[in-house]
Amino acid sequence: MFKRMNKNFSFAANEEIKFIYPDHSRILFYKSEYLNLRKELIIDNFYILNEAENRVDGHIQFEHADDNRISISHGTFGSLIMIGNSGYSLIYEFFLFIIDFYKQASVRSVIIRHYAGFYDPVNSPVIETSLMHLGFNITLCDINHHLKIKNSLFSDHINKMELRQLKKCIEAGLEVRQAKGNEAGKIYDIMTEFRTQKNIPITFSKDDFANSLEKMPENYTLFYVHDKQGEVIAATLMVRINDRVLYYFFPSDNPRRSSYSPMIMLMDGIFSYAKEHHYQYIDLGISSKNNTPQKGLIQFKENIGGLASVRLTFQLDIP
């Protein structure tokens, strides 16, 4: 389905696109390699096409979930990814095009899990405003935190208490490592044991964990902290969302070694990695659960220099 907006732009739904799609603009959750790991999903693709530049200027995906469409449930977020700054009118009309498409398909509701504002400071507020003007309601308002990577050290950004903990880790001989492929299964078991001990949900299966690292090694990197005896005491999976953002995912640490705060050591290593590979941000993820802020988690993230923003979920019920 195509619709021409004006002489420069048109919209497309579930059509083969021959326009240029700049690699730097793609996010992990919309990549074919990522979707191939989840072949059971039925996906709708909507595009803003820049006719003048022969380029995809916007892209959003929706999963089928009975009579609902969700953008997206299988990833951290899903929303309209914009290449340029196209303005309110185009974005508003594009979402109206999507709503009309789903009205014809007798879809019951449309849910959009928007990203935190730092991903796109120019377009994000325009997207949010457009959705609200079209009748979408905010169903979730999550607190999100991120680190901005600068030409500095991680230790320059953390408070005095966390700095003492980092020095304690270094003095105790703790080290940060990137896991090798044959270490992943063992470390996953350790991570899930730690999370179980702390009553933290296991949100990533062992098969998904292994498949992600094996089939998309450029997007998934496993970091861990070990002590002098080689015991793994903290780990996390870092996910390359795009060429600007690394996402901090599935963190785990040994509750019996909490006096060292090994996650501080882990973040120091990840910050150095991000700076070396020219990332601009580390997305620390949401710090709320069911619309309720998690004060301890917020305090930790802000103690290590995390900047707060909002991650909204929108829903439109279609009559």
Tell me if 29 sits within 8 A of 72, measured CB to CB.
yes
Tens digits of per-residue pLDDT, 77-91?
999 999 877 799 999
Q: Answer yes or no: is pLDDT of 74 > 90.
A: no
Is 113 contained in some domain? yes
Containing structural domain, residue 208: 150-279
Is the domain of 169 the same as that of 104? no
pTM of the prediction? 0.93
Domain count, the chain: 2
Report residue 47: phi and psi, to 5°: -130, 145
Question: Do 34 and 128 reside in the same domain of the chain?
Answer: yes
Residues 59, 81: contact at Cβ < 8 Å?
yes
CATH number for the domain harbouring residue 230: 3.40.630.30
Query: How far is Cα 82 from Cα 127, in angstroms, rounded to an integer?
Result: 10
| Domain match, 39 and 102 both | yes
Q: Residue 162, class by beta-carbon neighbours within 10 Å (0-12 exposed, 13-18 middle, 19+ buried)?
A: buried
Residue 50: CB atoms within 10 Å: 20
Are 81 and 103 contained in the same domain? yes
Q: If pLDDT is split at 50, 70 and 90, which confidence band does 18 have?
A: confident
User: Is the same domain home to 164 and 259?
Assistant: yes
Do 125 and 41 belong together in one domain? yes
- Residues 118-154: b if buried by 16+ CB within 10 A, e if exposed: bbbeebbebbbebbeeeebeeebebbbbbbebeeeeb
Q: What is the mean pLDDT of the chain?
A: 93
pLDDT tens, position by position, 261-306: 999 999 999 999 999 999 999 999 999 887 899 999 999 999 999 9
Amino acid at 88: Y
What is the pLDDT confidence band of residue 61, given thresholds at 50, 70 and 90? very high
Q: What is the pLDDT of residues 101-155, one digit of tens each?
A: 999 999 999 999 999 999 999 999 999 999 999 999 999 999 999 999 988 889 8
Same-domain status, 135 and 191: no
For the chain, the C-alpha Rg in angstroms (whole number) is 21
Residue 32 scores a pLDDT above 80: yes
On whether both 136 and 6 belong to a single domain, the answer is: yes
DSSP codes joined into one string, 249-300 = EEEEE-GGGGGG-HHHHHHHHHHHHHHHTT--EEEEEE-EETTEE-HHHHHH
Does 72 fall in a domain? yes
Residue 24 pLDDT:
65
CA distance 135 to 2: 24
Task: Indicate whether 66 pLDDT > 90.
Answer: yes
- The torsion angle over the Cα atoms of residues 285, 232, 242 and 30, rounded to 10 degrees, is -80
Pull the structure tokens for residue 306: 């995390």
